Structure 1
Amino acid sequence: MSAVPHPVLSISPVVLPTPDRAVDLQLRISVPAQGTGLPILLLSHGQGYSNHLSSLNGYAPLAQYWAAHGFAVIQPTHLSSRSLNLDPATPGAPLHWRSRAEDMTRILDRLDEIEAAVPHLRGRLDHTRVAVAGHSMGGHTATLLLGARITDPDTGIELDLADHRIKAGVVLAAPGRGGDALAESATELLSFVTGTDFATMTTPALVVAGDKDTSTHLTVAGADWHADPYHLAPAPKTLLTLFGAEHGLGGVSGYDVAETTDENPERVAAVQRLTWAYLRSELYPGDAAWQSACAELLTGSAAVGQVEAK
């Protein structure tokens, strides 16, 4: 991977026939035009108000940057996406929290099939270096894959959806704890959050939270709620708190989208650089990308945020 951006090839939809799913699994795959040994980054979309940002067509600011700097980025369209227009009675609706995590494991199970379906990928992926990233609801998906346990509110059964092929993660503006931290209006929609236990989330992760992301429609705990996946999970974990950032973290879900309440291209650029650098240093021990990015972006009067680690 290089700090110098390279041209990107983006292919979609790549369709994985999935008979046991409500619809086949559709993917977008973005990779640098050249290079081999590409680490794999699974990107889970959030659940915003738009029809298509919450799908394989969203999160271009992140997917494009990460691919231009050496990752093979794989974006599924989860069953919760409005773009699918599924029957509201579909099992798991509306947020499909379980199938979201299962989508990612399915992708890793079928990497050989994906490479065969996209000839330009064949032989270019490093199956031993895998990371996951997700924003908002996608951040919750990432925590499950990184080891957080969840108790199904319908059955009372505790589920372990972790995938140990994933070596590192980035958790962006994810939901925190449930219980009395939830706003009354969110207790039904986010009932599964109460059953999420971050204490088993052992895989290294960077948790990113905005200090103005109060999300009052979801929580009464304030912006700190989005830092719960850091505070309630065991080491090694890193918390990046972005100054002035709201839920969109400056606009990571798409370019110039109306649902971004804190549009700030400079903040998005910082998120791009810092998340890439974190994953680079986690997947390639000894690489100084994270140290360099922190020194550049998190020091002095122009610091975009602050970082702590355990």
Structure 2
Amino acid sequence: MSVKPIVLEAPQRGEDLQVRVTAPTTGTSLPVVLFAHGFGSNLDGYAPLVDHWASGGFIVIQATHLDSKRLDLPADDPRRPQMWRYRVQDMRRILDELTTLEADRSRVVAAGHSFGGQTAGILVGLRVRDPRTGAAEDLSDARVMAGIQLATAGRGGDGLTPFAHDNLPWLRDQDFSHITAPGLVVAGDKDDLPLSTRGPAWTADPYILSPGDKSLLTVRDGEHFLGGISGYRAAETTDEHPDRVALVQQVTLAYLRHVTGIDHTDWNNAQTALKDGHPLGHLESK
């Protein structure tokens, strides 16, 4: 079941924070997934993932971040250059409120798609150089045990297109070397975004450039929405493919159950099945 909107007061944000909670109808002390949407989306997005994770025993919490088209901030809104930071603050605000849920606050995983993948990454150690101050602060949160980053931006620098450099300054300098928490990265091998000159390989950077216990699911022929994870009838999906969505659903849930210690069987089976030659994808770990 889902409950929305839950409104959290956030005076410094300029807009109250609206949250959606999706959970199984039974169970206590359930692990939590904090999910950050992609640029422009909202708390109603990504139902194919959210419903699947909840059906597997997780409480999934989504917020509507300030970049959402629902809020329609003016182009000259002074908060726009700090969108990336407000997103992290939104997640921290939710973490502060977890005491009101029948949740296991010791088992929290941050997940996100696209811009939301950066948000999730920051919570587990990704450092972003603030384009305003030049500082690359540690904004990680010890309450988050692991991360899942789906179709997420890679390293900045010379690989960014002029559009990304000028309009998305929070992508200019990302440092993945401090992400020591376990993590799963999901990348489509046809995800050729207009933000990087490096092609689809760019979205594998969060795996390649991060140390420690990490895994990478490469989705064959997957574009930015990985077959349609953003919604059951999402018009922005350019590579609609139910089997591709099912692969992402199953592997991400298997990883969630593995990393939170519920059960390792599905994850071990996925590693075996997707090791070599599977028509839908390839799974590797380090």
| Identical aligned residues as a percent | 50
SS at match of 2:105: strand
Q: Over aligned residues, Cα RMSD in angstroms? A: 1.5
Q: Is the 8 A contact 2:271 2:284 kept in 1?
A: no
- Show the counterpart of 2:257: 280
Q: What is the DSSP-based 3-state SS (H/G/I as helix, E as strand, rest coil) of the residue aligned with 2:167?
A: coil
The more displaced of 82-91 and 130-139 is 82-91
Structure 1 unaligned segments of length 5 or more: list them: 1-8, 49-53, 116-120
**Cα distance change of structure 1 residues 191 and 94 upon mapping to structure 2, 3 Å threshold:** closer
Is residue 2:131 matched to residue 1:153? yes
Equivalent-residue separation in structure 2 for 1:153 and 1:104 (angstroms) = 21
Which residue does the alignment assign to 2:8? 16
Q: CA deviation at 1:295?
A: 3.4
User: What is the deviation of 1:195?
Assistant: 2.1
Q: Give the conservation status (yes or no) of the 8 Å contact 1:80–1:94.
A: no
SS state at 1:41 partner? strand
Note if contact 2:276-2:282 (Cα within 8 Å) is conserved in structure 1: no
Is the 1:31–1:68 contact (alpha carbons within 8 Å) kept by the matching residues of 2? yes
Q: Quick check: 1:309 aligned with 2:285?
A: yes
CA distance in 2 between counterparts of 1:195 and 1:220 reads 15
Separation (CA, whole Å) in 2 of partners of 1:187 and 1:245: 25
Matched residue count: 286
1:41 and 2:41 are equivalent in the alignment = no
| Counterpart selection for 1:27 from 6, 19, 29 | 19
1:4 match: none
Alignment match of 1:291 (pick from 268, 272, 277):
268
Q: TM-score, normalised by structure 1?
A: 0.88
What is aligned with 1:77? 64
Q: Structure 1 residue 133 and structure 2 residue 111: aligned?
A: yes
TM-score by length of 2: 0.96
The answer to whether residue 199 in structure 2 is matched with residue 222 in structure 1 is yes
What is the CA-CA distance between 1:267 and the residue it aligns to?
Answer: 0.6
Partners of 2:81 and 2:228 lie apart in 1 by: 24
CA displacement, residues 214-265 of structure 1 (integer Å, 9 cap, x when unaligned): 11x1110010000011111111111111111000100001112111010001
Deviations 1:286-307 (A, max 9, x none): 62221123334x2575541112
Residue in 2 aligned with 1:109?
96
Instruction: Give the secondary-structure state (helix, strand or coil) at the position aligned to 2:11.
Output: coil
| 1:59 equivalenced with 2:59 (yes/no) | no
Partner of 2:218: 241
